A and B are shown apart, each in its own frame.
Chain A
Amino acid sequence: EIVLTQSPATLSLSPGERATLSCRASQGVGSTYLAWYQQNPGQAPRLLIYGASSRATGIPDRFSGTGSGTDFTLTISRLEPEDFAVYYCQQYGTSPWTFGQGTKVEIK
């Protein structure tokens, strides 16, 4: 199975700062098949990015995704209070679909 490794595990930043989250795959993932999700406490995950770089419906443009092959990045250009959450990457191109272990973005 494809293992996704996210880094860092925790990112401590202030509102207004830029967040850069990494997701590295153990083998190549077609860029069409890489997604990012946000999960706030007590809520279900929310799809942010699919196809590595396409924003899901209703997602603000401060969220952007890049990458291909084995290295992918989620960038939040200016952190808003509601952005402090846990973020997961997922590949859905090769069964079993797999998720990264998550990156927690916390308030510094």
Chain B
Amino acid sequence: EVELVQSGAEVKKPGESLKISCKGSGYSFTSYWIAWVRRVPGKGLEWMGLIYPGDSDTRYSPSFQGQVTISADKSIRTAYLQWGSLKASDTALYYCALPSGGYSTPFDYWGQGTLVTVSS
């Protein structure tokens, strides 16, 4: 059974760094892209980018390019989303998701979400 398990909720101050994780199981981790999606209350869902853990090929939405870093460690079947300097506007619920059909396919598996709160 395919499963994506994300790390727990985080409360951070503006300017702090953060790395959240998404561990995949039940499938060949290096053979499928993993995407990150943000949900901001009142703004719906936003696709941030995705990574192919097999060769670390990474694509970003222009809205998030330079704002976050997506990475993966295939030895522990885990993808990451990280910030170097958080802003209050990064407060959101973040999901990892798996398009099991390949690059241009819908997200049929989702993690449970990681709530990130940035507040002074």
Question: Which A residues have a C-beta under 8 Å from some C-beta of B?
Answer: 1, 33, 35, 37, 44-47, 50, 56-57, 88, 90, 92-93, 95-102
Contact = CB atoms under 8 A, between A and B. Distances in A.
Contact of A92 (B43, B45, B46, B104): B104
A1 B64 CA distance: 13
B108 interface: yes
B43 A47 contact: no
For the complex, would chain B's binding face be called helix, strand, loop or mixed by DSSP majority? loop
B53 interface: no
A45 B45 contact: yes
Given A1-B62, A33-B104, A97 B47 contact: yes
Contact of B108 (A47, A88, A98, A102): A47
A88 B106 CA distance: 12
Given A44-B112, A45-B95, A95 B59 contact: yes
Given A44-B112, A45-B45, A47-B107, 17 more contacts: A1-B62, A35-B107, A37-B45, A44-B111, A44-B113, A45-B95, A45-B107, A50-B105, A50-B106, A90-B106, A98-B47, A99-B44, A99-B45, A99-B46, A99-B47, A101-B44, A102-B45
Contacts of A97: 35, 47, 61
> Top 4 closest A-B pairs, CB basis?
A44-B110, A96-B61, A35-B106, A99-B45
Nearest to A47: B108
Contacts, number: 57
Interface of B: 35, 37, 43-47, 59, 61-63, 95, 97, 99, 104-108, 110-113
Given A1-B62, A33-B104, A96-B63, A88 B110 contact: no
B109 to A, nearest CB: 9
A47 B101 CA distance: 13
Contacts of A102: 44-45
Contacts of B37: 45
A90 B61 CA distance: 14
Nearest to B112: A44
13 contacts: A44-B111, A45-B45, A47-B108, A56-B106, A88-B44, A88-B45, A90-B45, A90-B106, A93-B104, A95-B61, A96-B47, A99-B44, A100-B44
